[in-house]
Structures are given as structure tokens and as C-alpha cells.
Structure 1
Amino acid sequence: MIIVLFVVILWYGGLFFQSFFLHRYAAHQVFTMSKTMERVTFVLTWFFQGSSYLSAYGYGIMHRMHHAYTDTEKDPHSPSYDSNLFAMMWKTKTIYQQINQQKIPVDSKFTKNVPQWKSFDSYASSRFSRLLWIAFYILFFAYFTTALWQWFLLPIALLMAPIHGVIINWFGHIYGYVNYKMTNTSKNLFPFDFLMMGEGYHNNHHKHASSANFGVKWHEIDVTYQIIKVLDFLGFIKLKPISIQK
């Protein structure tokens, strides 16, 4: 089952760097890293996200806007203001591209210390780069596919980052349970987040946005946070102190 293993690696590899680098570092800066480590992580994010690569700059700013305007008309992605998930993701894509291309004004409070590597992003986000990844995925599937049904996994490989976004930004505001009563619709998708490596504890995250650990209850194990602790112990990053208020 080489194809299944390949998609699983892309799923969790891309998800980890989206959560670790784009979300917890670029948007929330819950830890610090050297410029060299930052550049290495840029490249690894591109490697694992491939054709659906997301810029740390665009993602970081847009996510800060999401927290500032959650479930309002200014929210870049909210089920409360979009008729379906496809409409929401199209709106998200448009705002993300406008931020990256600096076509819309952005308040300075959203841009402060957001990592940016313009020369790399211009390539990694280019149509040329995305087409190369698409060609590679198709060739990989053509060589290793052993059953017709495996081809249905190809769109997942091609659109990995948007799919991750849909799960959290759409379903994470509709389904699940809450630990904290809030003025927004954020919810925790799973008691143990095996699918999204901790990103599914969305209600917890909206309550404690500056915390590196998205889990609160004993069963809410945040896999990404466990990896972050190891990287902190090894000296690759410097984790900031966590302050959780019940």
C-alpha cells in the first residue's frame, strides 16, 4: 500500500508544518527560533505541503485576523457568514492571495514580526512550483498505484493544505464540544485529536490563543505540542512559558 502510506506521510507531514510553523510560530509566536532554523522550516513546509504550499506571511496575518474578528463579517473564514464550505474557502483563498500580493491594506498589529522570505515564497508559491509538484504526484501515482480506488486519493494529495483548513475553519466551528463558553462558535472536534495533531482542539485554542499546548483536559493530547517540547529540549527552538487560566 505504497500510495496509502504516501498520502498518510503527506497528510501528517504537511499538517505538522502547518500547525508548528504557520500557526503556532508565524501567527502566534509561542516559541522562537534562529533565522537559520526558520529558513530550514520554510523549505520543509514547502517540501511537505507541495502543490498546496502556504506562505507563513499570508497565513500568519490571515489567522491573526481570524482571531481578532472571529464569526464577524471581517472574519476571513467563518461558517456564520458563508453559505457553504466551498464559498468560505474561496473567500479565504482570495484574502490570502491579496495579503501576500499586498493588494489590500493590513493593520500593522497583524503584521508585527510575522516571518517572511520573499524570494523563497515567490518561487514556492509560483504556478511553476505547484505544477512541478502536481506532475510529481501524478507520476508517483501512475508508477505505484495497484488499484483503481487509489486514484481517488490523488485530489487529497494535491489539495492537502486547503483540506486541513476546511476541517478546522468549517467543521471546527460547527461540530464538536466546548470546554469554554465563548462569544464565538469554536469547538473541539475530538476528545483525542488523532486526525489533526492537536489543531482539532479549536475551542481551547480560541480561549488560550497564546498557549503552545492546545490540549486542556487529560485526554486532550496535543501531538504537535509534544513534538514542540522535544524540539525545545534539543535546542532547535525556544518555547515561551505557558500560562493557562481556567
Structure 2
Amino acid sequence: MATAFRDIQPGEFEPTEAHPQHGVIIGGPAARAKRIEYGILLSSMVIGSLGALYWTLTHATGWVEWSAFLFGYILINMGVGIGYHRFYTHRAFEAGPKMRLAIGIMAQMACQASVLKWAADHRRHHAFSDRVGDLHSPYIDGHGKKMSKWKGLGIAHFGWLFDNTTSDMNVYGKGLIDDPQVLWCHRHRWSIAVFSSIIFPALWALAFGGPEHIIGTILIGGFFRNFFFLNFVMGVNSIGHVFGSQRFKTKDGSRNNWFMAWMTFGDGWHNNHHQHPRSAYAGLMWWEVDVNGYIISLWEKMGLVWNVQRAPKYVRDSDGNWVQKKKLNVQSPEAMSEDDGGLMFADGKKTAETKATADAG
């Protein structure tokens, strides 16, 4: 399958500079392609959002334009949180081929690159969270250089999209580079982006309004909707690693941020997620609203998904610490290899054996 992702990682490229972490590539065609693709996607959203602002100030807009915005926002929110994140990155549940394809298309309607690239990059983030190798940490850049607070927030939010590092698909793309649904979505990512940003809003305008609503609905319900939501997804990378509370003492800066959680349908419970990355639910307490988790539960009851991964329940002990209500007998399958993103969810026994072998060597 080496040729299936040549546009992301040409097989013949040999980096002239080695990154200190395994699975991170510096420079080359993949880095150039990354900058071009993200440049096109981001600039189109920004220009379209400015157009939406102008249109709102100079034209009457109503329920047609804003209902398209709201419906599209809900759709791509589910796509990113459930599709890109919980399913393709973390395998929080299982689904059949048709459901996997539907989830992948819904995710890519957010216009944040293909499932293949998004999931591989996010696996790398978890493997090196807030340490050398993390691609969007607010503390260090892609090469491991420490940054000031405000520069770090900027890099973690949008700046990382344009650095010269990329994720090795042979490491972080395992289980993705040979998945027919993932590859179909990757090959059709531009057509899905055009459909999401232009065709779908135009059809919505014709169905519920008329030709006079087409331009406004494309600008508001297409480009502005994507850019508005993108800032909350990126905000989990930046704000979600600096501002908020920490229930668990993870080895990174991940925080639970209620506002980011509300706007991302649950992904803002980021500290919970870093403690239990494979769980289908980021909200662990009843008051932690996790819309994407509720949707997964509904799909499970409908038989659309199965083998849904769940985190253990937690309670406070006498010292005020959060502890598992019922201690698991074995380590949950969440231990991440720092050397190989393809073994992110090795079971505890395998992880211990691997570590023992490495120590012996």
C-alpha cells in the first residue's frame, strides 16, 4: 500500500535531518504538500468567513442561512469527535464497512484534511503529548524547542499546520494505510470538501429558501461554519492544554475545559481523555456533558457499532483524590508506546514484556 499515500509520504524520500523522536519526518515533499493543503483549506475558510461577515452586514439573512450553519455544525462536530477522533484514531468502538465509510465522510466534511492524515497526526500527539515529538503542543514546537506561553498557544492553535515536520505513516498510520474506507476518503478529500463548503449549502438554500439565498448560505453555512468549528477543535490543542482543571495527574498539560467541551460535543474533557484515550466517552461524571458519547451509546443500542470501550467509574477518596470505584483487575488497553504509534493500545502484559526486553537489551 506504499503508493496509496504518496501525496503524504513519498517512499523514495530520505530526510537529510533526523528528528530526535521515532516516526517524525523533517522536510521533503510531504512537508511541502502539508503546507499547501492546509494553506488552501485555512485560507478558503478565512476568506469565506470574511465574506460571510460582509454579507451579514449588507444583506438580510435569516433562518435559511443560519439553519444551514447549525445543521452543518452539528454534523461536522459529530464527524470530528466520533469519526476522526474516537473511532479512526483511538478505535473506541467497532463498526461495519458502510458505517466506517459514513463516519469518515462525515468527518472530512469538516475540511480538516483526510481521515488518514488527521488520525495519524493525532496518534503522534498522544505518543509524545507535550514532549519532543508532539506536533501541536503549546509548550514546545515540532522540533522540541521550548516556547513562551503566548507563542506556544499560537503554534498549538494554527502555527503547527505550517511547520516542516510530518508523521511517518509506516508508524502512526498502521491500521489506516490499508483500510479501504480510509483510503477512499483520502482520495476523495477534495471533492468532499467542495461538497461540504459549497454544494451542500447551495442545495440547502434551494430546498428551504430560493436562489437568492445561495450565496449567503454558502458563506455562512459553509465556509464560516467550518472556520468557526475549526477554532474549537484547535482550541482543544491549545487552550485545552493550558486552561482548565486536571482531575488526573497525566504526564502532559491536558485540561478539562467545560466551554471547549460544550462546543466540541465532549472533546473538551481533555484531561479525562488523556487518562483514558481509548474510551468512547470523554465525560466521566454525570455533569460532564458528552454529546458524542451519547450518540455512540445510541448507535450501540441500534446495533450500528459494537465493542464500545468504556473507562472505569471514579469516586473521591477521603483525601479528595479521584480513584477508581472498582479497581480493574488488569491494565486497560491504553498503554501507549513512545516508539511506535502503531502499538498505542498494547495490553498491559505486552507492554510490560516489551519494556522488560528493552531493559534487558
TM-score, length basis structure 1? 0.79
**In the alignment, what sits opposite 2:71?**
9
Which structure 1 residue ranges, 5 or more long, are not aligned? 100-104
Identity of aligned residues (%): 20
Structure 1 residues 155 and 175, CA gap change in structure 2 (3 angstroms): farther
Residue matched to 1:23: 85
Rg (Cα) greater in structure: 2
Instruction: Confirm whether residue 39 of structure 1 aligns to residue 101 of structure 2.
Output: yes
Contact 1:174 1:187 in 2 (8 A): yes
SS at match of 1:219: coil
SS in 1 for 2:263: coil
Q: Contact 2:300–2:308 (CA<8 Å) still a contact in 1?
A: no
Check conservation: 1:192, 1:220, Cα contact below 8 A: no
Aligned partner of 1:56 in structure 2 is 115
- Shift of the 166–191 alpha-carbon distance from structure 1 to 2, 3 Å rule, reads closer
Following superposition, the deviation at residue 118 of structure 1 comes to 2.5
Number of the residue aligned with 1:182: 250
Is the 2:107–2:115 Cα contact (8 Å) retained in structure 1?
no
Where does residue 102 of structure 1 map in the other structure? Answer: none
Q: Which moved more, 1:37-46 or 1:65-74?
A: 37-46
Instruction: Give the conservation status (yes or no) of the 8 Å contact 2:130–2:140.
Output: yes
Cα displacement (A) at 1:167:
1.8
**C-alpha deviations, 1:214-236, integer Å up to 9, x for none?**
11222112111111011011111
Question: What is the RMSD computed on CA atoms of the aligned residues?
Answer: 3.2
Q: Does 1:92 align with 2:154?
A: no
Q: In the alignment, residue 188 of structure 1 is paired with which amino acid?
A: N
| 1:111 aligns to 2:176 (yes or no) | no
Report the AA paired with residue 123 of structure 1: H
293, 296, 299: which one aligns with 1:225: 293
Partner of 1:166: 234
Alignment of 1:216 onto 2:318 = no
Are 1:77 and 2:136 an aligned pair?
A: yes
User: After superposition, what is the alpha-carbon deviation per residue over 1:124-149, rounded to whole angstroms, capped at 9, x for unaligned?
Assistant: 2x3x654565444786598339x9xx
The offset of 1:86, in angstroms, is 4.7
CA shift for structure 1 position 123? 2.2
Mark the CA change 1:183 to 1:119 in structure 2 (over 3 Å): closer, same or farther: closer
Displacement of 1:70 in angstroms is 0.7
1:67 deviates by 0.7
Q: Is the 8 A contact 1:33 1:237 kept in 2?
A: yes
Aligned length: 232
CA positional deviation for 1:241: 4.2
Counterpart residue number, 1:122: 187
Amino acid at match of 1:6: A
Shift of 1:239: 3.1
- 3-state SS of 1:29 partner: coil
In the alignment, the residues of structure 1 paired with residue 99 and residue 221 of structure 2 have an alpha-carbon distance, to the nearest angstrom, of 32
Change (3 A) 1:119 1:194: closer
In 1, Cα distance between equivalents of 2:103 and 2:233: 20
Cα distance change of structure 1 residues 29 and 131 upon mapping to structure 2, 3 Å threshold:
closer
- The 1:192–1:27 alpha-carbon spacing in structure 2 relative to 1, beyond 3 Å, is closer
Contact kept, 8 Å, 1:172 with 1:187, in 2: the verdict is yes
**1:76–1:95 Cα contact (<8 Å) kept:** no
Change in Cα spacing, 1:232 to 1:214, as seen in structure 2 (3 Å) is: same
Distance 2:193 2:298 in 1: 32
